[in-house]
């Protein structure tokens, strides 16, 4: 379909050592379309983060086919994969991954500096992103001066700065207390309502239900897929 961003067909991932062969993903078939909000859930070690890393071009499958906007990912050279990660995909990590000696503003700006974006355009993108997540008043602060919830909001702003086609969130509430976790989930719901395409890995079934479509993994396989009648906020 024209609005299809991601399509996986028979994707597998095998990790090999001298003595052990681990099948992290087995025969994965899935699609993500523009504007969708998809959650990927399952127990620890089921392959959630491995799948997200493949979707974000941080890792490559051992077999099967992955097409991104109709283009086979296997044909992409390293430089093109890096360009797509910078311009098309916004990453939100459990550990925030902010740089401690950069201010909030500089953390959000950093990915944009690799685009040779004019400074005025870059400044507008940073300030707009911080405004969207309610952190513009903290632009001159450093990560150590922020709460966990605030740091994750800055991480979301960094992901939004380049106007990506899709947001990939890996356990975005994993390092937060329940109140801050729910606040970040509300923010993701608001971004989705505004048109963002989101794929989120979570171990929390409450937050998985916030998505409009839920995929459950077990032992590297998709064992369940549900379209939510209405995406409801965690309660």
Please state the rounded mean pLDDT for residues 107-114.
Answer: 93
Distance of CA 54 to the CA centre of its chain: 11
Confidence at 203, pLDDT banded by 50, 70, 90: confident
When pLDDT is cut at 50, 70 and 90, the band that residue 206 belongs to is confident
**Local confidence band at 114 (pLDDT 50, 70, 90 cut-offs):** confident
Confidence band, pLDDT 50/70/90 cuts, at residue 117? confident
The Cα 119–Cα 95 span in angstroms is 29
Q: What is the pLDDT of residue 235?
A: 41
Total number of residues shown for the chain: 235
Q: What is the pLDDT of residues 40-63, one digit of tens each?
A: 999 988 999 999 999 999 999 999
Q: Is 70 exceeded by the pLDDT of residue 215? A: yes
- Which residues does residue 129 pair with via DSSP β-bridges, in sequence order? none
Domain ranges in the chain are 35-57+81-213+222-227
CB within 8 Å of 68: residues ≥ 6 apart: 5, 6, 57, 84, 88
pLDDT surpasses 80 at 233: no
- Per-residue pLDDT band for 2 (boundaries 50, 70, 90) equals low
pLDDT at 230 over 70: no
Average pLDDT, the chain: 91
Asked whether the predicted pLDDT for residue 1 surpasses 70, the reply is no
Report the 10 Å Cβ neighbour count for 92. 23
Task: Read off the pLDDT of residues 57-108 as tens digits, 9 standing for 90 and up.
Answer: 999 999 999 999 889 999 899 999 999 998 889 999 988 999 999 999 999 9
pTM: 0.87
CA quadruple 226, 194, 187, 200: dihedral positive or negative? Answer: positive
Q: What is the pLDDT of residue 39?
A: 96
- Which residues are within 8 A (CB) of 137 and not within 5 positions of it... i.e. 6 or more apart? none
Q: What is 35-57+81-213+222-227's CATH number?
A: 3.40.50.300
Q: What pLDDT is attached to residue 154?
A: 95
Q: What whole-number percentage of the chain has pLDDT above 90?
A: 71
Q: In 3D, which of 103, 107, 216, 114 has the Cα closest to residue 160?
A: 107
What is the rounded distance in angstroms from the CA atom of residue 32 to the CA atom of residue 75? 20
Q: Give kind and range of the element (H or E) at residue 131.
A: helix 119-132
Largest CA distance in the chain: 55
């Amino acid at each position: 379909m024209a609005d299809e961003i991601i399509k996986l067909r028979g994707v597998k991932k095998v990790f090999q050592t001298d003595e052990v062969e681990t099948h992290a993903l087995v025969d994965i078939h899935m699609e993500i379309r523009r504007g969708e909000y998809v959650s990927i859930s399952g127990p620890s070690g089921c392959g959630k983060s491995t799948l997200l890393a493949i979707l974000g071009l941080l890792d490559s499958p051992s077999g099967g086919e992955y097409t991104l906007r109709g283009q086979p990912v296997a044909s992409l050279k390293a430089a093109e994969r890096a360009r797509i990660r910078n311009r098309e995909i916004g990453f939100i990590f459990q550990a925030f991954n902010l740089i401690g000696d950069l201010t909030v503003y500089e953390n959000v700006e950093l990915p944009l500096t690799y685009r040779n974006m004019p400074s005025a355009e870059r400044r507008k993108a940073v300030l707009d992103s911080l405004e969207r997540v309610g952190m513009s008043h903290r632009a001159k602060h450093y990560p150590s001066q922020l709460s966990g919830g605030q740091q994750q909001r800055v991480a979301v702003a960094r992901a939004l700065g380049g106007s990506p086609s899709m947001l990939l969130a890996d356990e975005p509430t994993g390092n937060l207390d329940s109140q801050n976790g729910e606040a970040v989930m509300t923010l993701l719901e608001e971004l989705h309502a505004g048109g963002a395409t989101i794929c989120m890995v979570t171990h929390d079934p409450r937050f998985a239900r916030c998505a409009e479509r839920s995929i459950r993994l077990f032992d590297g396989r998709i064992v369940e897929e549900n379209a939510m009648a209405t995406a409801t906020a965690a309660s």
